[in-house]
Chains A and B, each alone.
Chain A
């Protein structure tokens, strides 16, 4: 057992499975007391169960760590408030918040219902706000804190999951702003895009998978090329294991690297990626407003006509 987070308290949402579970386990292994939150719903957000959260709490305790379960729906303001309050009530403080709760309802846009849209945006993006708001109140008072938000690269251009793409990129918008709202109080807020195999992985819209989907893939947009594995996987887990995200997430929950704020990372297997923010690639300027004749010529000529 490590001791980087001895005496510290963490909340992990969506900690009953997948990435969240891996983070909760490693936080506890480093000495943190963990509130393991999970609504225990299906991947589409329906239903609820205590089992996932209870199982992870049991696992932590079996390994000698401290944890308590919370079953609130953090898409609701009450849920966000309760989970933060439980950390404070049970363990007397809060030092780190990891937002990992998420669902998906993969649909082509023309098959997506308003409730599909709402459920995904609410469960994935609003759930980052509800917990962060209440954690921020505590963090601001104590002038310290860490927030890590799980997002995805769907917003770089995944087909068949535009709600998930919107929600994921929305989480990144929240991350960049919350880090700015709280930076002066010694708090950092960062995001990780886990590229691992969990129940959220794309692939359910089989009938709409076009062999050659138009345009660049999300990896191409992200600037990650094709490459063979470095070699045989060594040690615990396997390349697509969601537990591979935990080391970076826990690192971002420690006091290390206070200069890392409002930053987006990616994790795939043994690779950790640092993302830039969107930036100007090409620009055309003039003295005065453009007219349409200029647009006809300049946009294809200077910005491109084959994106």
Chain B
């Protein structure tokens, strides 16, 4: 067992299965005391079940580690508060939060319901706010903290996932801004692009199956729907691959890494740069439409490819 996280207390949300469970186990293996949080719902968020979180706790304890289960929902402010309180009650402090919990409700935008929008935003993005808002007072008191928010390459554009893209790219904006708010308190905040063969990618929800079955859904050129395309043999899709990089971001040694987006899936660790300006046009006055009609096609729009160009009706 390592000791990078010895004496540290970590909450991992969505730690009952998949990537969250692996992150929790690796944290414990490096000496952390872990709050294993999982509502135990289905991939679309329905239902609840205590056994996933309990299984992860048993696995950690079986390997000689320290963990306690929590079954509260990240999606509500009050219940997220109970998750944080579980850490304080059991271990007296809180050093790191990894917000992995997430669900899917895929639908093309013209069919997406309010419930589908709300559910995905609530678990992912509101869940991030809820966890961070409750954790931060403890971390500020300690003048130490590590926050890792699980985003997704879907924020770069993924047909059928208006809600998920909003939440996942929102997570990135949130992390970059939080990093500024909290840097003077010794707290780092980073976003990660995870990936792997989990129930989120394997057992796709019915809405996603309907979507993919009925249309040729074009995927973003860089990312597939739920994370980086995993290169290599099946082992590279093991969710455990996300763990070492995530754990590293939560160590004391990673204190200078903040406000970043890190790809943590598969057999790679990747630093992503923020969107930035690559071309520009300038004048010292307001542009006219006559000018833009002539200039944009040969400047800013020159070389841009529509990722989904118009297609003939089927």
Contact = CB atoms under 8 A, between A and B. Distances in A.
A222 B274 contact: yes
Interface string A271-307: 1111111111111111111111011101110011111
Interface in B197-251: 218, 220, 222, 232, 235, 238, 240-241, 244-245, 247-248
Contact of A181 (B126, B159, B235, B280): B159
B169 A172 contact: yes
Contact of B169 (A109, A170, A291): A170
A22 to B, nearest CB: 10
A108 B181 contact: yes
Contacts of B182: 109
Q: Which among A155, A161, A232, A262 has the greatest number of chain B C-beta atoms within 10 A?
A: A155
Nearest to A235: B285
B62 interface: no
A163 to B, nearest CB: 7
Contacts of A62: none
A59 interface: no
Contact of B297 (A117, A130, A257, A305): A257
Nearest to B246: A295
A259 B305 contact: yes
Contacts of A166: 125, 128-129, 170-171, 173-174, 177
Interface string A171-193: 11110111111111110100000
B253 A296 contact: yes
A156 B274 contact: yes
B169 A256 contact: no
A256 B110 contact: no
A283 B310 contact: no
A282 B171 contact: no
* Chain B: interface size category: 35 or more
Given A244-B286, A270-B282, A157 B176 contact: yes
A54 interface: no
Nearest to A275: B275
Contacts of B130: 114
A295 to B, nearest CB: 4
A277 B156 contact: yes
Contacts of A165: 173-174, 176-177
A60 B138 CA distance: 54
A213 B218 CA distance: 41
B90 interface: no
Interface in B270-289: 270-289
Contact of B272 (A271, A280, A290): A280
B248 A299 contact: yes
B285 A291 contact: no
B193 to A, nearest CB: 9
Q: Which among A117, A167, A237, A292 has the greatest number of chain B C-beta atoms within 10 A?
A: A292
Given A178-B109, A247-B292, A283-B268, A223 B308 contact: no
A286 B109 contact: no
Contacts of B274: 156-157, 221-222, 278
* Chain A: interface size category: 35 or more
Contacts of B247: 292, 295
B92 interface: no
A186 to B, nearest CB: 4
A251 B169 contact: no
A256 B296 CA distance: 9
Contacts of B218: 180, 183-184
Interface string A118-154: 1001000110011011001100100100000000001
A119 to B, nearest CB: 12
Contact of A133 (B112, B284, B301, B313): B112
Nearest to A156: B274
A207 interface: no
B63 interface: no
A47 interface: no
Contact of B244 (A250, A269, A291): A291
Nearest to B176: A157
B44 interface: no
A290 B275 CA distance: 28
A283 B296 contact: no
A190 to B, nearest CB: 10
A260 interface: yes
B269 A290 contact: yes
A92 interface: no
A110 B182 CA distance: 9
B289 A250 contact: yes
Contacts of B287: 244, 247-248, 270, 272
Contacts of A299: 245, 248, 254, 257, 269
Given A244-B286, A256-B293, 20 more contacts: A109-B181, A109-B182, A157-B179, A157-B259, A159-B180, A176-B158, A177-B157, A177-B162, A181-B160, A236-B286, A243-B286, A258-B309, A274-B277, A277-B222, A279-B222, A280-B263, A287-B232, A290-B267, A292-B26, A299-B257
24 contacts: A30-B289, A114-B129, A126-B117, A154-B177, A155-B174, A158-B177, A164-B177, A166-B129, A169-B170, A169-B172, A170-B169, A180-B220, A222-B277, A247-B286, A250-B289, A251-B289, A258-B306, A260-B296, A260-B304, A273-B280, A281-B270, A287-B232, A295-B248, A299-B248
Q: Which 5 A-B pairs have the closest CB atoms?
A: A169-B173, A155-B173, A183-B308, A173-B169, A170-B170
